Amino acid sequence: MFESLSNRLNDVFSRLRGKGRLGPADVDATLREIRLALLEADVNVAVVKTLLARVRDRAVGTEITKSLTPGQQVVKVVHEELITTLGGVAVPLKKPSTPPLTIIMVGLQGSGKTTSAAKLARLLKVQGRRPLLVAADLQRPAAIEQLITLGERIGVPVVTDRKAKPPKLVKAAMKQAASDGYDVVIVDTAGRLQIDRELMGELEDIEKAASPDEVLLVVDAMTGQDAVNVAKGFLNSVTLTGIVMSKLDGDARGGAAISVREVTGCPIKFAGVGEKLEDFEPFHPDRMASRILGMGDVLTLIEKAEVAWDVSEAEAMADKLRTASFTFEDFLQQFQQIRQIGPIDQLLAMLPGAGSMFRNVQVSDNDLNKVEAIIRSMTPEERRNPKLIGGSRKRRIAAGSGSSAQAVNGLLKQFNESQKMMKIMAQGKSIPGLGKMR
């Protein structure tokens, strides 16, 4: 979502880094370019004005003029002020005085509310909680069926009663949670195509019945400035405690995600970053600001890897790499674990500097699918010992994977070169052009 904005800002900052000193004119010229980049990304005009005013106050002071690297200092100031705009610090869910933690999910129809409720339930379950979902969107039968299906996939029970009024259903769910030992209740409420009195009246009744600890508004990041207007509309009618940004993996310009915190004063607590149920994460303003500025997000990458990878398997794989006994079967196993972390373009975006490094390089999951198809078309014996693969086997593998013999050849050649490199490293010898490996 932020790719275009990141590229624009990186271009601006790259021109700054070569300057020995910056005067007020240089700062103003830079801020004009940043302003254009933010406005093109659909960031709220008032938010842009406030953000750049704070940046300018710091950029024309001694903090920049006395710096040995003024260009880098400007980047630092923009980074820090962008973190402030996004909320400053991550805001976790509240801890209720007595369980269960009660969360009401609100939002317009089509915002991703029902899916976000299931994603949140899955995340809390992974963290060791016992969530209970409540299908209180009785206006749309498909929403009930959707939540039941998602609940089955994540192993979380769903309470529903198509004949009951939402407040009565919520009260029954609260009693069930207390008696059965559930420590989190997540209520999926009805949505509308637009904010209206009937919708708000129903939400107010549910709020009275549940006495929620959290009321989370699900906002579709793809809707641009409309998302900010929706947030303001709900804020005027219900007691919002946080925002969930859905569809942050989309190709919209992303301005709503940058604007909504400052416009509403409501913290963004979670972000949906993909279609899968596991593509849901706590929102960290500092990490998001780093992603937007192309600085990567190593902490989130590590957290995702820790969830997806088994420590003992990782250590065993490291031993195989050290002893150069890594096979195509090992490669396939690692491949599946990488896939569990997320799409390859999202992983690259979390590596510092990867945005500029891979700007002109198209690395997609489709490319990885082709590699996986070739490996899966090999027999287990061929994966363990690629030297067995001759001409006829290459043709069979190519036909089975829907690729060409040349593609199979290329993969075998790359794997062979990697094996040679591993052996050199394992023996502590020098690699041509790189020197001795220790």
The reported pLDDT for the residue numbered 252 is 67
In this model, does residue 60 exceed pLDDT 90?
no
Residue 309 banded pLDDT, cuts 50, 70, 90:
low
Question: What pLDDT is attached to residue 64?
Answer: 57
Q: Is the pLDDT of residue 217 over 80?
A: yes
Tell which wins on pLDDT, 311 or 382.
382
pLDDT at 191 over 80: yes
Characterize the bridge pairing of strands 101-106 and 214-220. Answer: parallel
Reported as a pLDDT band with limits 50, 70 and 90, residue 15 is: confident
Computed from CA positions of residues 174, 178, 180, 183, in that sequence, does the dihedral angle turn out positive or negative?
positive
CB 279 within 8 A of CB 119: yes
In the predicted model, is pLDDT for residue 426 greater than 60?
no
> What pLDDT is recorded for position 305?
61
Q: What is the mean pLDDT of residues 236-240?
A: 84
Which of the two residues, 16 and 433, has the higher pLDDT score?
16
pLDDT of 435? 44
Q: Are 107 and 191 in contact (CB under 8 A)?
A: yes
Q: CA 206, CA 187: separation in Å to the nearest integer? A: 9
Whether 310 shows a pLDDT value over 70: the answer reads: no
pLDDT at 48 over 80: yes
Is residue 294 over pLDDT 60? Answer: yes
**Closest CA relative to residue 293, chosen from 30, 11, 91, 71:** 11
Decide if pLDDT at 431 tops 50. Answer: no
| Mean pLDDT along residues 401-408 | 90
**Residue 129 belongs to what H/E stretch?**
none
pLDDT given at position 274: 85
* Mean pLDDT, rounded, for 400-406: 90
In the predicted structure, residue 160 carries a pLDDT above the cut 50 = yes
pLDDT of residue 109: 85
Three-state DSSP at 380 gives: helix
Average pLDDT over residues 324-347: 69
In this predicted structure, the answer to whether residue 287 has a pLDDT above a threshold of 80 is yes
Q: In what order do the strands lie in the sheet with 268-272?
A: 158-159, 131-135, 184-188, 101-106, 214-220, 242-246, 268-272, 280-282
Task: Return d(Cα 432, Cα 436) in angstroms, integer.
Answer: 9
Share of the chain above pLDDT 70, in %: 76
Tokens (6 digits) for 63: 């903090």
Assess whether pLDDT exceeds 90 at residue 4: no
Mean pLDDT value across residues 230-236: 84
The CA-CA-CA angle for residues 429, 432, 437, to 5°, reads 35
The pLDDT value recorded for residue 248 is 84
**How is residue 264 written in tokens?**
């509403």
Selection from 195, 262, 254 nearest residue 48 by Cα: 262
On the question of pLDDT at 99 being above 60, the answer is: yes
414 pLDDT band (50/70/90 cuts)?
Answer: confident
Asked which of 127-131, 253-257, 333-337, 415-419 is least confident by mean pLDDT, the reply is 333-337
* Residue of higher predicted confidence among 193 and 10: 10
pLDDT of residue 437: 38
The larger pLDDT score, comparing residue 66 to residue 269, is at: 269
Domains of the chain with CATH codes: 3-86 (1.20.120.140), 101-295 (3.40.50.300), 303-436 (1.10.260.30)
Residue 352 burial (CB count, 10 A):
12
Whether residue 146 has pLDDT greater than 80: yes
pLDDT at residue 195 tops 80: no
CA distances from 215 to 93, 173, 195, 240, 303 (A): 10, 17, 16, 5, 26
Indicate whether 277 pLDDT > 70.
yes
